[in-house]
Amino acid sequence: MPEKYTPGYSSNATNFMAKRSVDTHAAFFTPYLSPGMKLLDCGCGPGAIALGLARVIAPGTLTGIDREISQIRIAAESAFNQGVSNTNFLEGNIYALPFPDNSFDAIFSHALFEHLQEPVQALRELWRVLKPGGIVGLRSPDWGGFLISPSTPELEKAFSYYKWLQQQNSGNPNVGRELRALLRQSGFTNIKASASYQCYEPLSEATEYLALRIEDSAKEDRAVEKGWTDERSLTAMSNGLREWSQHPDGFFAAAWCEVVGQKG
């Protein structure tokens, strides 16, 4: 199956990712950083976390890569508008990084490995460009730990459908629990693993993102054409998400797994 980034690059998806920050999504990694470091952010997206990391390592330099040029442009514009000058954003592929061996003191990647078909191949490329003694920090969700309440049949179908869609795109929705093993298999040592929960408030931000992506699957993934679902089901799932977002007791907590390892 071809590898595909399931969230896509719509304005809704980009805006949803842009609400992330170094404090909320990279706190597990910042204790390992220090001023003057040379840091690589793989799958930087619109750069929301990257700019925070750049401030932590200043006057060091942060290089962000993403395979989608629209995200690189947004990240570079955000850096300019915010006056963060120690950044460089490039279009690039994690399987073939455009850098020499032993280039970086540290490497960070957030919400990327759940979309990769060959995570060990990607990690070996990170190993290549990381300096001896350098550190890598990864963070990915694990759909097996999601907390959703109150549940309805339409809501359960919506989450199951999105998870299945990611699997059809060669992703692994449960990769979070496997990050430690993946680092070890790739040669990293001194591995430390942790987990945390993100509670979505307001609930409508996450549900609208999911609802729109489910609706878009008819066109984006040709889901109806391929017989994966039908228009009626897509509408029922997206409506179920939107109704849930307005429920006074609605609660959604996503499990995130973090891992830090070292190149020996």
Region 122-135: what's the mean pLDDT? Answer: 98
pLDDT above 70 as % of the chain: 100
pLDDT in tens, 221-262: 999 999 999 999 999 999 999 999 999 999 999 999 999 999
pLDDT above 90 as % of the chain: 99
Region 185-203: what's the mean pLDDT? Answer: 97
Q: What is the CATH architecture assignment of 11-262?
A: 3-Layer(aba) Sandwich (3.40)
Amino acid present at 80: F
Q: What is the pLDDT of residue 1?
A: 65
Region 20-32: what's the mean pLDDT? Answer: 98
Please say whether the dihedral angle defined by the alpha carbons of residues 179, 180, 185 and 188, taken in this order, is positive or negative.
positive
pLDDT in tens, 48-98: 999 999 999 999 999 999 999 999 999 999 999 999 999 999 999 999 999
- Give the C-alpha distances (Å, rounded to integers) separating 116 from 1, 31, 37, 193, 229: 11, 27, 27, 20, 24
Give the three-class secondary structure for 84.
coil
* pLDDT above 90 for 2: no
pTM score: 0.96
**Which contacts qualify for 219-223: CB closer than 8 Å, 24 or more apart?**
220/8, 221/165, 221/168, 221/169, 223/165
Region 8-19: what's the mean pLDDT? Answer: 95
Enumerate the domain spans of the chain: 11-262
Terminal-to-terminal C-alpha distance of the chain: 34
Both tokens of residue 249? 């007791």
